[in-house]
Amino acid sequence: MKPRHKRLVAVVVGVAALAVSAALVLNAFRSNLVFFFSPSEVAENKAPQGRTFRLGGLVEKGSLKRAADGLTVSFVVTDTAKSIPVRYTGILPDLFKEGKGVVAQGQLGADGVFTAKEVLAKHDENYMAPEAAEAVEKARQAHERAVKSMAQSAAGAK
Amino acid sequence: MSTKELDFGEHAARGEWWLRYAAPQAFFPLAGRLIPYFVVLAVVFAACGLYLGFFVAPTDFQQGEAYRIIFLHVPAAWMSMFLYVVMALWGALGFVLNTRLSGMMASAIAPTGALFTFIALWTGALWGKPTWGTWWVWDARLTSELILLFLYVGFIALKASIDDPRRADRAGAVLALVGVVNVPIIYFSVQWWNTLHQGASVSLTRSPSMATTMLWGMLLMALAAWMYAIAVCLARVRLIIREREREMAWMRELGGGE
Amino acid sequence: MNWGSVDGFFHMGGYGLFVWGSYGVGLLCIALEVIALRMRARRLARTAGGEA
């Protein structure tokens, strides 16, 4: 075999190895592309049955309850259409908050309660000073009030 | 002298002066003259960016001070993707035009690209732990960025394993061009699939969702990363030119390159 | 100005380890790259000098 041919073989083998590893990576990738399922998807039985999966959504406001041991918590994950109660024993991440995003990994029990082994906080891409966030929240509440009072006066006018 | 170099001479004569710099012997001194300017710009931009990021930009309303990792994380992640595209473009250029400099440029960019990819992954882990509650998850954004690191390392290893530099350039170009599909996957992963990683705060299609001082700190750091990458890649391509062309007449005239 | 004291600056609101761990390793990477380039240049100068 000439050195040229040898090198050609080396390149072919290299490219083949690369292709195989790429295929393996892509396969692993595909099974993780759906990183989490929303409560609506779980209700439609789109999530894997009887296996561990991730449940993602917002922590429903006012749903967080801590047990006496201080480590076990229960809360409700919602996507505003459907919601699923979650039970978890362990340390919650700093950004875990009611009304904020969450991704919980665990299994859905027969009683409809999702038992989580791991809870991750999913934050959004907004960055601002606390005072600015407060102002935004105040403006939102004022807007809501205005909409409500307008609806009321419209109903009164009828 | 080969006909290729004569061609560049003709281009220069026709007024396409910039094509002259596609030849290593013309590019070598130009790169050497430019490096100090880029170093100075990198230092100035980084100093301004860090000052804005740490002393002017306010605390974040949900992440507290942990968000300040963004001033390193996002510029590093941007550079990791951008440098890969530039590397692949040089590879393609070398493939089509068969110019010596193109392959050397691609080789010079790869280590810096790998470095920025590593920084993006490392700072991401240190940011993810206090905010998300985990160092690492196999979501689409994190996995595709890890694949980018493998692509850089594979590119460097492939080139190192082939003795003939021109052949190595061609093989590397093929790998770089195949791998370039990964870049849009990284960028759009947070839109195409549900991921733990949040969406983009800065994009071309809408106004940024960041406080102004935070944004400026981040953009200045991104500029600093650009200037640094240019300076380091130019320094490296000069070394590669000296290594590869030390036997050539023009390099011998320079006295072994220095 | 965000920080009342030097300690407050390094403490980073409790996230000091994560923030400085990021910037520290970032700086280390840059330093290593620059040193690696310097060493490569020195090696090259030696071999080129030997040949000439």
Which contiguous run of DSSP H or E holds residue A78?
strand A72-78
Distance from CA of A111 to the nearest CA of B (A): 27
Alpha carbons C35 and B180: distance in angstroms, whole number: 29
Indicate if the pLDDT at residue B11 is higher than 90: no
Distance from CA of B30 to the nearest CA of A (A): 35
Spatial contact of A51 and A6, defined as CB atoms under 8 Å apart: no
Upper half-sphere CA count for residue B76 (Cβ side, 13 Å): 26
Least confident of A41-50, A148-157, B31-40, B248-257: B248-257
List the single residue in B115, B126, B235 with the smallest CB-CB distance to C21: B126
Which of A77-81, B17-21, B225-229 is most confident? B225-229
Residue B22 CA, chain-centre distance (Å), reads 20
List the single residue in B175, B178, B214 with the smallest CB-CB distance to A127: B214
Alpha carbons A57 and A37: distance in angstroms, whole number: 8
B-C contacts (CB, under 8 Å): 84
- 0.90 exceeded by pTM: no
pLDDT digits over B28-56, tens only? 999 999 999 999 999 999 999 999 999 99
R_g of chain C, CA atoms, integer Å: 20
- Interface probe with C: pick from B35, B45, B61, B65, most Cβ of C within 10 Å: B65
DSSP state of A92: P
Q: Pick the more confident residue, C32 or B27.
A: C32
pLDDT digits over A1-28, tens only? 666 677 677 667 767 777 776 776 776 6
Closest B-chain CA to C19: B69
The reply to whether residue C29 touches residue B64, judged by beta carbons under 8 angstroms, is no
Which chains reach chain B with 3 or more Cβ–Cβ distances below 8 angstroms? A, C
List the single residue in B55, B130, B239 with the smallest CB-CB distance to C40: B239
Indicate if the pLDDT at residue A86 is higher than 60: yes
pLDDT digits over A96-108, tens only? 888 889 999 998 9
Between the alpha carbon of residue B48 and those of residues A114, B64, B77, B220, C16, the distances in Å are 48, 22, 20, 7, 21
Spatial contact of B200 and B74, defined as CB atoms under 8 Å apart: no
Instruction: Locate A149 and state its tokens.
Output: 């009072």
Distance from CA of A105 to the nearest CA of B (A): 11
Instruction: Locate B37 and state its tokens.
Output: 């300017």
How large is the average pLDDT for residues B15-36?
81
pLDDT digits over B92-101, tens only? 888 888 888 9
pLDDT digits over B150-199, tens only? 999 989 988 988 888 888 999 999 999 988 888 988 998 888 887 888 88
Within 8 A of B130 by CB-CB distance, chain C residues are: 15, 18
Alpha carbons B90 and B103: distance in angstroms, whole number: 7
Alpha carbons B218 and B212: distance in angstroms, whole number: 10
Please indicate if any CB of chain B lies within 8 Å of the CB of A28: yes
Distance from CA of B72 to the nearest CA of A (A): 15
Which contiguous run of DSSP H or E holds residue A53?
strand A53-59
The reply to whether residue C2 touches residue B58, judged by beta carbons under 8 angstroms, is yes
The reply to whether residue B63 touches residue A29, judged by beta carbons under 8 angstroms, is no
Please state the ipTM of this predicted complex: 0.90
Alpha carbons B172 and A121: distance in angstroms, whole number: 40
Would you tell me the crossing angle of helices B100-131 and B140-161 to the nearest 10 degrees?
A: 150
Alpha carbons A52 and A49: distance in angstroms, whole number: 8
Structural domain spans, chain B: 38-194+210-253
Distance from CA of B121 to the nearest CA of A (A): 17
Given this model, what pLDDT does residue C49 score? Answer: 55
Q: Which residue from B7, B40, B3 is spatially nearest to B228, judged by alpha carbons?
A: B40
Amino acid identity for residue B31 in this structure: A
Instruction: Locate B159 and state its tokens.
Output: 């080139």
Dihedral sign computed on CA atoms, order B187, B193, B194, B196: negative
Q: With left for phi above 0 and alpha for psi between -120 and 50, is residue A60 left, alpha or beta? A: beta
Burial of C46 (0-12, 13-18, 19+ CB in 10 A): exposed
